Amino acid sequence: MLTSIRGLVAASLFAGAAIAATPALAQDDSGITISGNAALVTEYRFRGVDLSGGDIAIQGGIDLSHSSGFYIGTWGSSLDEDTVGYGHTELDIYGGWTGEVTSGVTADVGLIAYLYPNAGPGDFDYFEAYGSVGFTFGPAETTLGVAYAFEQDSLGGDDNLYLYADVGIGIPNTPVSVSGHIGYTDGFLTYTNDGNAFDWSIGAQFAVNDNLSVGVSYIDAEGDYAPGDYDFTDGAVVGTLSVSF
């Protein structure tokens, strides 16, 4: 059962898109690559939960990676300060390793810190370890992942486990792709009375060019515990305009 507004942070790497691969901005002889991304979304959904109060959010990040597979990066989003209660900014800092372990199979492991620098008094920041395995089958890509937030004061002394599966399929000879996601949360970071919840989404993306894309998704999550009048887990259609560089 949720003990505070902290339970609204149902963060997923899929929904946040904080560590999506982007084209290289610069690379030197050391094997270091710098890339970035920015997006305008009609709503900020994190594991299906609305963190922008139904309003538009501005997001963006930058990654620094090495040819060995190691990377560090940061990503941020605007929040609804009055409705959500974490201030007006979320800042994520992460680092890890990603690479191909065999033909058509990639792995990604790391640690991410969710920070809320403008939140009021109290302990809101927390850490989460993550890992995923990706499989490529022709135009289809599938990812199976897990994220674990160990016991922390900001989680009420509890922990949280998140399991998810993503699938994306590019339609041959078109700039269109479709995607789907399902996730399961067990622990503190849910919006239900029993500490368990599912979230899911389905969407389509259109690549305008190599850097610019637009997309639309339907996103939903389970939620039966509402400390206020606003329904943070109500299903919604979310539009995205994103650029990578």
pLDDT in the model for residue 12:
34
pLDDT band at 205 (very low <50, low <70, confident <90, very high): very high
At 186 the pLDDT is 94
Give the tokens for residue 31. 């094997």
CB 9 within 8 A of CB 189: yes
Backbone angles phi, psi at 233, to 5 degrees: -110, 10
- Say what the pTM is: 0.86
* Nearest CA-CA partner of 146 in 107, 195, 92: 107
Structure confidence at residue 112 (pLDDT): 97
- What dihedral angle (degrees, nearest 10) is formed by the CA atoms of 202, 62, 128, 57? -50
Percent of the chain with pLDDT over 90: 70
Reply yes or no on whether the pLDDT at 39 is more than 70. yes
Digit-coded pLDDT (tens) for 57-109? 999 999 999 999 999 999 999 998 887 778 899 999 999 999 999 999 999 99
Q: Is the model more confident about 7 or about 223?
A: 223
pLDDT band per the 50, 70, 90 thresholds, residue 232: confident
pLDDT, tens digit, for every residue of 63-76? 999 999 999 999 99
pLDDT tier, 18 (very low <50, low <70, confident <90, very high otherwise): very low
Chain centroid to Cα 65, Å, comes to 19
d(CA 206, CA 208): 6
More confident residue, 188 or 33: 33
b (16+ CB within 10 A) / e for 80-117: beebbbbeeebbbbbbbebeeeeeeebbbebebebbbe
User: For residues 83 and 67, what is the distance between their CA atoms, to the nearest angstrom?
Assistant: 42
C-alpha 89/C-alpha 94 separation (Å) is 16
The C-alpha atoms of residue 224 and residue 103 are separated, in whole angstroms, by: 43
Mean pLDDT for the chain overall: 87
Mind listing the pLDDT tens digit for each residue in 155-168?
889 999 999 999 99
